[in-house]
Amino acid sequence: MTEIPVMEARTDVPAAEAAASGAANGAAITPEHPVVVLGGGPAGLTAAYLLAKRGQPVVVLESTGMLGGIARTEVRDGYRFDLGGHRFFTKVKEVDDLWHEIMKEEFLKRPRQSRIYWNDKFLEYPLEGMDVIRKLGLIELSRCMASYLWAQVKPKGREDTFEEWVSNRFGKRLYNHFFKTYTEKLWGVPTNEIRAEWAAQRIKGLSFFSAAKAAFFGNKGNKIKSLISEFNYPRFGPGQMWEQMAKDIVEHGGEIRMNAPVTRLVTDGSGRVTEVIAGEQTLTPSYVISSLPLRTTVGIATPDAPAEVRDAARGLRYREFLTVLLVIEGQDLFPDNWIYIHQPGVRVLRIQNFKSWSPWMVPNDQDASIGMEYFCFEGDELWNMADERLVKMAAAEIEKLNLAQAANVKFGFVARVHKAYPIYDEKYAQRVATIRRWLEHDLTNLTQVGRNGLHRYNNSDHSMLTAMRAVDNILLGTHHDIWSVNVESVYHEEIHDSENPYATDPKPPAMDGPLASEH
């Protein structure tokens, strides 16, 4: 039997407290029948923390050797790397209160700065008119103005694609400078394969594009909202929060099992999960709180989910990214937390500067520590590229961008982030609704939470809020609709055309794989 590392629960929890059911709808929560939490990311750890804090037996099963999921912090030789960069800023007071409860004085207030890198120049973000004029120069600015004016007077013609829609409103030169390269790297297809309806919705609503227009042509009515100027951040990165939560869970009597991928969810035909199997470990849960991707939950159900549910799960799509993490000898490359790379000729989309997130992320003053982010699909050429080649490519690109010398890279490694972004394609809402109906009928004591658990583009705060609501439903008998948390980020029962960027839905290589995998 493969030994599964366990963060052992306390043994001094009063028996009466540990055995208290606390459940409002009938299922007794006992040490023999704990709440089983699937996944040790922000949502899963939040659920376990709140349950353990209230004296409820809880076991967390994490498939990997690290906590935090897609919000994890990688550590190498004292350097800490925040995958994707995670600002701790929320309008949800109870989530903010929880963050401060966990981190206490280790929660720092950090300044926010992010800029656009284009043509070897930094442009303020949102764009500022005088800054753009200085960086473009009068000649290029005149060309952009002429291109814009021509776009206003010429016949519009067809507007089926992102390229056509943007060019008709901003002119070809501004489209090529500030729209084309970044969008193609983000979505992995040419802009003539991205729908005009998506452009109309997103460009209208995003501060960058609103600011771009205002920078050149005026900000009528002062409609552009300023971005937040500071945010909270754990001293040693998000991983510090997940590590502290894990310690608190164990201190309150909970248990965390690492390297314990769940392979089967067994139901008894009465609409309940009766066994959770992780390798050779079997638990008999009272309730299950799952942050597993919907695709995985369907794939490990025993007996099999109905064919239409499995088909729906197979149709769910995701966009992945990988980060090449580099330590570079010398001073910081730039003062920003991160920069957006609009420069053509390189594949990197964003670059994180971890020392600007927190000086404690880097163990000395002599080195810079960065994360170069590349967006891809699991199984494509970039995703499958050998780590050594990726590190060499990233080092070459940082030099090509004139930000550092490749020879000064001390070391680098690669972190791949599976299922980072759920894709809202044309039929995703129907697929999610099919899976939800099955869950609510056949797995009544299981609640899905978190980003991939709901196939919802939630940030950490809303992912954690879904877990808080799930715990309330179990312990207090409330009836929160978990699927409606942060519903404004998506259209729940119907898909609006503007939410789907692709003219033709992509078919990532991973879609042909099994529903359930180690990821």
Determine the average pLDDT of the residues in 279-288.
95
Determine the average pLDDT of the residues in 338-353.
96
| CA within 13 Å, CB half, 176 | 10
Percent of the chain whose pLDDT exceeds 70: 87
Dihedral angle, C-alpha 404, 407, 408, 411, nearest 10 °: 110
Q: Domain map of the chain by residue range?
A: 23-69+237-315+425-503, 126-222, 318-422
Determine the average pLDDT of the residues in 161-187.
91
pLDDT band at 494 (very low <50, low <70, confident <90, very high): very low
494 or 409, higher pLDDT: 409
pLDDT band at 487 (very low <50, low <70, confident <90, very high): low
pLDDT of residue 208: 39
Closest by Cα among 359, 360, 298, 352 to 325: 352
pLDDT of residue 7: 58
424 or 499, higher pLDDT: 424
**pLDDT for residue 374 is more than 60:** yes
**pLDDT for residue 503 is more than 60:** yes
For the ranges 73-82, 136-145, 437-446, which has the lowest average pLDDT? 136-145
Q: What is the 3 state secondary structure string of 279-299?
A: CCEEECCCEEEECCCHHHHHH
pLDDT of residue 48: 98
Residue burial 123-160, b: 16+ Cβ < 10 Å; e: rest: bbbbbeeebbeebbeeeebebbeebbeebeeeeeeebe
Residue with tokens 């909970």, as numbered in its chain: 254
**pLDDT for residue 5 is more than 80:** no
pLDDT of residue 337: 96
| Class in CATH terms, 318-422 | alpha beta
CB 502 within 8 A of CB 195: yes
Q: Which amino acid is at 151?
A: A
**pLDDT for residue 491 is more than 50:** no
Mean pLDDT (the chain, rounded): 88
Q: Which amino acid is at 166?
A: V
pLDDT of residue 125: 83
CATH topology of domain 23-69+237-315+425-503: FAD/NAD(P)-binding domain (3.50.50)
Q: What is the 3 state secondary structure string of 105-146?
A: HHEEEEECCEEEEECCEEEECCCCHHHHHHHHHHHHHHHHHH
pLDDT of residue 518: 41
Torsion angles phi and psi, residue 331, rounded to 5 = -75, 170
Structure tokens that stand for 281 in this block: 């470990």
pLDDT of residue 24: 52
For the ranges 131-140, 327-336, 508-517, which has the lowest average pLDDT? 508-517
For the ranges 15-29, 392-406, 425-439, which has the lowest average pLDDT? 15-29
23-69+237-315+425-503 and 318-422 share one fold: no
Structure tokens that stand for 346 in this block: 């390189």
Highest mean pLDDT among 27-31, 276-280, 324-328, 507-511: 324-328
DSSP class of 195:
B
| C-alpha to C-alpha distance for 177 and 209, rounded to whole angstroms | 12
**pLDDT for residue 457 is more than 90:** no
217 or 278, higher pLDDT: 278
Summarised one tens digit per residue, pLDDT across range 107-143 is: 999 999 999 999 999 998 877 778 888 898 889 989 9
User: How far is the CA of 464 from the CAs of 56, 188, 312, 423, in angstroms?
Assistant: 19, 30, 26, 21
Q: What 3-state DSSP class applies to 370?
A: strand
pLDDT of residue 22: 46
| C-alpha to C-alpha distance for 477 and 287, rounded to whole angstroms | 13
**pLDDT for residue 227 is more than 70:** no
For 485: left if phi > 0, alpha if psi spans -120 to 50, otherwise beta; the answer is beta
**pLDDT for residue 3 is more than 90:** no
With 0-12 / 13-18 / 19 or more C-beta atoms within 10 angstroms meaning exposed / middle / buried, residue 360 is middle
